[in-house]
Amino acid sequence: VVDEERTERMRAVVADDAESSEREHGDDRELLGAEGYQTIDGFPCYRTVDGTIQTMMDIAVAHPHLATIEKIGESHQKRDIFVLKLTDKSSPAEKAPLFITAGIHAREYAPPELAIRFAEHLVENYGVSADIDGILAHTEIAITAVSNPDGRIIAQNFRNLWWRKNANEENECKEERGNYGVDLNRNFNFMWGGAGASTDPCGASYRGASAGSESETAAIMKYSESIFPPEQRKGNPVKDVDAPYDELTSKGMYVDVHSFGEDIIFPWGHKDKKAGNFQAYQAISHKLCSINGHLPSGSGGYRFLGTVSGDTLDYHYGELGVCSILFELGTEFYQNCDDFENKILPDNLKALLYASKLVHRPYELAKGPDVTRLTVPDATAASSSTVEVKARVSDREMTQLPNNSDDLPPETLSTGNQRIVSVKLFVGGHPYDPSPPEPLDMSPAGGVGGEASFASHTVDAALTLDVSDLTGMGPQIMVCAVGTDAMGFDGPVSCEYLTIAPRTTAAASPPPPAVDEGSAAQQQTTPASAGKPQSTTTATTPESPTITTSLQQTPTPAAATPQSTTTKATTTVTQNDIGGGVQTCSDQSIEGDCNEMAGCKWKKDKCQDVCAGKNKRDKCHKVGGCAWDGKSKICLRSPP
């Protein structure tokens, strides 16, 4: 959104500085910032175009199981435009697309950096955060951190120009340095040429020669068309512009990141009239704002910021039928690094993670209740026989806006205040898995299971799990909670890892019915398989510290007790036995050796067993180097 007054001020600055617009810093392009990449002079928190693209490539090289880099087009000056695609490639689940673009406006320093930090946050916390593992297993996140590289290079080197547009100099403004180029956020191919865009080639919001005329715009449109489901587009999107999209089946999200204004903006831009899916957008924007402290802004008198046409949101929502949201970060174009690192970054990483959880059914999930807290106790002590999982679920908390929301209409958020009717817990998997665990009902905390019902829009729920029911599911068990409100809306999924100590009874204990798979009931556990681990206990040294570490990712004092040490050694022997007598993953301290071992992968500076957490036959088989042991129902490392 163009602030006309500010634009005029910028024009004055450009005119003043036109003759002395040499690069603002010297020729030293080797400057490395805190992140180890080239950063913008004077702003060590913001990577340059080269630094950002280098980071995207480094992520793709370092995390081949998660990341892919793809060229989607070229800028006007023939610079490559890339997307970084992030998803758990080993997950067999059907994935919904999330496309994040940043840097469409050149002078907005923070957005490209937020986008690349989000990518780093996802890959660095994979395998550690159950929430992020759940997102990456079920979502394909595509990030174009530098959407306008030509303009960005001008903006990072000549701050006095306040460069906004691309660098297309093929118009009448080419002699007026600082004013040429096309506003890419007025050049998209939906309602192009209407009000809220300039026809003046020297204007800050110049719409371009024709819809989609710019190569940067064309690259983004072509990529979006390729990833978002064609079946949810309208036959005649202009004529049927006011018709709502089907909220039950709509999936995928588009997020465009700009600065500044501290807004969460939703369609329309081309007119101040409510969009067909207004109520859902109201819910989405309120929830994102409750996280990052922004204010919602949309058409239909909902703090509408001014008419624009040919913009990213209207194109993705109107033309492609995709739920589309725009973040306006911070309070200035060249936001200082203290503000970025301490406020904008942490607040908006959380908001982007929340958006990522909506992608499967954005319009529906935002209307449902949120799991605002999920607590699983540390159950690694061998003496734990039960664990109590607790959840706070609210249909209201995240609809509440910050105090400075006076200029919003006093309209109530009709989907955000219902009683909670159920809280489901999924143990050993995610509800979006191809074969999810059977959900368990959580009870009102303090009540007796199954007897009391939830009475409020905000509730505490609890469920006690028997640890003996969890054996055979690996040392790290995914636990996910989902709330449902009285209108029947399910909310987004929240997950945590439950870590338990391995048990001697692992092979003998039948799996709990709730997490059983269809064919498991046919398989009887034989006495032979139950006795096998016990009989070979003496084959290893129980005190071996290496073995202890291999089976317990978070060592606790309890690990030193004789009972738990024996337990660990027993299980290790089972693995060695079936694995052909090879070493455990954690015996490897060299990354290359680790990755060569079946079922082992180097993660977080450790050699980790990637089979251990897979508690279903189909999941186990999807992972290279793992094999399902049908008798003990454990996924084991299986060297070829």
Q: Which residues are tagged catalytic?
A: 328
Give the integer Cα–Cα distance in Å for 60 and 79.
Answer: 19
Q: Binders of Zn ion among 106-135, rule CB under 5 A? A: none
> Residue 118 CB: number of other CB atoms within 10 A?
24
- Phi then psi for 427, rounded to 5 degrees? -110, 120
For 324, the token pair is 């589309």
For Zn ion, give the closer residue by CB, 258 or 568: 258
For position 105 contacting Zn ion by CB under 5 A, the verdict is yes
CA–CA–CA angle 107, 109, 114 (5° rounding): 140
Residue 51 C-beta: closest distance to Zn ion, Å: 21
User: Which lies closer to Zn ion via its Cβ, residue 312 or residue 548?
Assistant: 312
The angle formed by the CA atoms of residues 324, 326 and 327, to the nearest 5 degrees, is 145
Among the listed ranges 70-78, 98-106, 193-201, 548-556, the one in contact with Zn ion (CB under 5 A) is 98-106
Q: Exposed, middle or buried by CB within 10 Å (0-12, 13-18, 19+), for 506?
A: buried
Cβ proximity to Zn ion: between 256 and 370 the closer is 256
Token duo for residue 400? 């509440």
Is the CB of 147 or the CB of 564 nearer to Zn ion? Answer: 147
Secondary structure (3-state) at 515: helix
Sole window of 60-68, 254-262, 404-412, 473-481 interacting with Zn ion (rule: CB under 5 A): 254-262
CB of 258 to Zn ion, least distance (A): 3
457 binds Zn ion (CB under 5 A): no
- Cα-Cα-Cα-Cα dihedral of 383, 384, 386, 388, to 10°? 160
Provide the minimum distance between the beta carbon of 632 and Zn ion in the complex, in angstroms, as a whole number. Answer: 57
Contact, 491 vs 483, CB < 8 A? yes
Give yes or no for residue 616 binding Zn ion (CB under 5 A).
no
Stretch that binds Zn ion, among 257-265, 419-427, 445-453, 579-587 (CB under 5 A): 257-265
Walk across the sheet containing 476-485 and list its strands.
440-441, 420-427, 476-485, 494-499
Rounded distance between C-alpha atoms, residue 215 and residue 74, angstroms: 6
- CA dihedral of residues 558, 562, 563, 564 (deg, nearest 10): 50
Using the CB atoms, write b or e for 350-384: b if 16+ within 10 Å.
ebbbbbbbbbbbbbbbbbbbbbbebebeebbbbee
Residue span binding Zn ion (CB under 5 A) among the ranges 102-110, 487-495, 520-528, 596-604? 102-110
Distance separating alpha carbons of residues 351 and 353, to the nearest angstrom: 5
The count of other CB atoms within 10 Å of the CB of residue 571 is 24
Residues 39 and 32: beta-carbon distance below 8 Å? yes
- Report, in Å, the least distance between residue 190 CB and Zn ion: 18
Between the alpha carbon of residue 514 and those of residues 73, 112, 131, 133, the distances in Å are 49, 44, 21, 22
Residue 329 burial class via C-beta count within 10 angstroms: exposed 0-12, middle 13-18, buried 19 and up:
buried
Separation in Å, CA 335 to CA 1, 147, 331: 17, 19, 7
Nearer to Zn ion, 258 or 361 (CB): 258
Q: Which is nearer to Zn ion, 204 or 221 (CB)?
A: 204
185 vs 574, beta carbon nearer Zn ion:
185
Whole-number minimum distance, CB 259 to Zn ion, in Å? 7
Q: Minimum distance between the CB of residue 105 and Zn ion, rounded to whole angstroms?
A: 3
Q: Are 262 and 330 in contact (CB under 8 A)?
A: yes
Beta-sheet pairing, 263-265 with 295-297: parallel
Q: Which of 159, 251, 258, 424 binds Zn ion (CB under 5 A)?
A: 258
Which is closer to Zn ion, CB of 186 or CB of 258?
A: 258
Per CB under 5 A, the segment of 53-61, 104-112, 135-143, 535-543 that binds Zn ion is 104-112
The H-assigned helical ranges of 128-170 are: 130-138, 149-157
Minimal distance, residue 326 CB to Zn ion, in Å: 8
- Contact stretch for Zn ion (CB under 5 A) within 100-108, 263-271, 341-349, 515-523: 100-108
Residue 104 CB, shortest distance to Zn ion, in Å, is 6
Minimum distance from residue 111 beta carbon to Zn ion (Å): 8
* Residue 594 burial (CB count, 10 A): 19
Contacts with Zn ion by CB under 5 A: the residue count is 2
Measured from the CB atom, the residue of 326 and 427 that comes closer to Zn ion is 326
> Shortest Cβ distance from residue 334 to Zn ion (Å)?
13
- Determine contact, residues 383/374, Cβ cutoff 8 Å: no
Residue whose CB is less far from Zn ion, 43 or 163:
163
Query: Is-contact 359 97, C-beta < 8 A?
Result: yes
Q: Which residues contribute to the site for Zn ion (CB under 5 A)?
A: 105, 258
